[in-house]
Amino acid sequence: MQGKVCLVTGATNGIGYETALGLARKGARVAIVGRDSGRTQACAERIRASVPGAIVDPHVADLSAQAEIRQLAASLRDAYPRLDGLVNNAGAIFDRRELTVDGIERTWALDHLGYVLLTLDLLGPLKASAAAGGKPRIVNVASAAHYRGHVDFADIEGARRYGAMRAYSQAKLGNVLFTYALARRVQADGITVNALHPGVINTGFAKNTGGLFGAAWSLIRPFLTQPDKGAETSLHVATAPELDGVTGRYFSHSRPKTSSAESSDESVQERVWALSLAQIGRGG
């Protein structure tokens, strides 16, 4: 990874931080994205302190807001004419239904559409890396929760029926569906796209969630796997030499695994692809 440029979203704590740290240790120049300027800068400084000589560039954006994603992508394209790796990691779960500034349910907007819009807006630098002889990789951090997910096209944003885990599982299923649809489209460009389950990890996940769901997570959190272990699959999929050219796969515990039946349905993949493009205001 020496000399390569990689971007990690949601990098201020948990799996995202450990992924960025691991990439820096492997010699990559790491661009990190967080929502809070102070925390993102502090994260960059922690990585630099842990890895002498590491180049870590902090960037700030709310990845649930489409205007901020577009602004972020524009600055990233200016800063990095070539991008060798993109790890879409940012996400959260919300116990109450809320709409973003774009009028989209927050879980779907952040956990799914954020991946879609940022990735599509950064295809230029990724393709430039491939054209220069690189082997760029897009890594989408999904979840085993996608197995219990279902894309409710009649109520995609939970306006009629909302539940925190229902919305989260649907969004994580969206990640896998998007991975497969995008992999077909960019394979000829020399870009690989894979999704993964990092494990059930002790991170900031659900810390701001109330009710029974939040209470349950607070009870089990001390018994969960630590973030450095959770980042192992992300780092493996992003860097393992044996995965050069491997695309359109789902990984768990650093090994390929069959994803859900719904995620493997190409008609659903294409339907979610078309819906996602419509929601971010893109055609094609």
Calculate helix-pair angle for 164-186, 266-279, nearest 10 degrees. 100
d(CA 278, CA 184): 19
Tokens of 110: 């952040």
Calculate helix-pair angle for 211-220, 164-186, nearest 10 degrees. 70
What's the first-to-final CA gap in the chain, in angstroms? 34
Catalytic residue check, 17: no
Question: DSSP strand E in the chain: where?
Answer: 5-9, 29-34, 56-60, 85-88, 137-141, 192-197, 249-252, 255-256
The 3-state secondary structure of 244-270, one letter per residue: CCCCCEEEECCEECCCCCCCCCHHHHH
Q: Which of 80, 168, 180, 250 is catalytic?
A: 168
- Active-site amino acid positions: 168
